[in-house]
Amino acid sequence: METHRSISLNINAAPLKGEMSVLFSGHGEPLGGHFIGPCVHSYYLIHIVLSGEGIFETLGETHSLRAGDAFVIFPDILVKYEASVEIPWTYMWVGFSGEIVEDSLTSIGITPDRAVIRGCSLPVMKRMFKNLRKSLQKTEYPQAGNMESSGWLRLIMGELALLHQPADAEAKTTPSRSFRQIDQAIRLLSLQYGKQLSIEEIARSLGYHRAHLSKLFKEATGLSPMQYLFKVRMKKAEELLEGELTVAQIAASVGYNDPLFFTKQFHKWSGQSPTDFRRGRRDRDKLS
């Protein structure tokens, strides 16, 4: 089924895991009513609206957008965005990741609850995106292309920073209390997945009743806290199965004291036992 009048995409052939690196960048003209979500992404995304209209939904709020507006998508935050039926938007986007990204965005006032920026200079943004995408086309020197695209991404973020300074200086870096608490819960689950975690204890430490925390958490991520923890544990288990640890050692590393129970949970996640998953990865690597 056709969803776009036109779409183009450039991919980074050599992104660095630890650094802030561009993953891909594109330009699209969706058909009227085309939407993405509600869903979560595992990377950051900046969209710049070039023409037309659409809406962006995140953290329970709906934002109407038009030419010159930008919106930023954060990992593991539930979002939906949709082109207007009558005047569908055209936009360009860049996806990126890295350990310093969240702090870099927060430092310029861009957070999941302040993820819409108005009044972008489209000639400036078009020029920077054009150069960013050109750098990704340097396939003969992918490492150089990665560094160059990262530089253009920083310039794009710098341009957004100039537009995103609120009148109230304190509001610049102070997200809502509910978001701060959910963000803390996400961090806790993402970092402490190897421990025996109780949602009641997490809720108590954040000053919420379990049911209220679960409601807010699902609004933000699309998952309950336990579903999110399960996802984090299984993703980490997949990484560890690339190495030499035994299944029992991996089970303990991701919070399961019983290897048999871990094996059942992993099968529910991937459709394979940990041993079969590991064998399949190794067979694939031999062929590549």
- Tell me what pLDDT residue 176 has: 55
- Tell me what pLDDT residue 178 has: 63
- 188's CB contacts (< 8 A; 6+ apart) are 197, 202
Dihedral Cα 253, 256, 260, 266, nearest 10 deg: -80
Dihedral Cα 62, 214, 174, 152, nearest 10 deg: -60
Q: Are strands 53-58 and 79-83 parallel, antiparallel or unpaired?
A: antiparallel
The 3-state secondary structure of the chain, one letter per residue: CCCEEEEEEEECCCCCCCCCEEEEEEEEEECCCCEEEEECCCCEEEEEEEECEEEEEECCEEEEEECCCEEEECCCCCEEEEECCCCECEEEEEEEECCCHHHHHHHCCCECCECEECCCCHHHHHHHHHHHHHHHCCCCCHHHHHHHHHHHHHHHHHHHHHHCCCCCHHHHHCCCHHHHHHHHHHHHHHHCCCCCCCHHHHHHHHCCCHHHHHHHHHHHHCCCHHHHHHHHHHHHHHHHCCCCCCHHHHHHHCCCCCHHHHHHHHHHHHCCCHHHHHHHHHHHHHHC
- Tell me what pLDDT residue 187 has: 80
CA distances from 103 to 48, 157, 173 (A): 21, 12, 11
- Tell me what pLDDT residue 180 has: 67
Query: In terms of CATH architecture, what is 4-170?
Result: Sandwich (2.60)
| pTM of structure | 0.69
- Tell me what pLDDT residue 237 has: 94
d(Cα 237, Cα 267) in Å, to the nearest integer?
Answer: 12
Tokens in use for 245?
Answer: 């640890």
- Tell me what pLDDT residue 168 has: 45
- Could you say which residues of the chain have pLDDT below 70? 1, 164-180, 288
- Tell me what pLDDT residue 170 has: 42
Q: Where are the domains of the chain?
A: 4-170, 177-287
- Tell me what pLDDT residue 172 has: 43
d(Cα 161, Cα 181) in Å, to the nearest integer?
Answer: 25
Tokens in use for 206?
Answer: 């954040």
Least Cα distance to 114 among 37, 190, 168 occurs for 168
Whether the ω angle into residue 38 lies within 30 degrees of 0, i.e. cis, is: yes
CATH classification of 177-287, choosing from 1.10.1740.10, 1.10.10.60, 1.25.40.10, 3.30.750.24? 1.10.10.60
- 130's CB contacts (< 8 A; 6+ apart) are none
Distance from first CA to last CA of the chain, Å, rounded?
A: 32
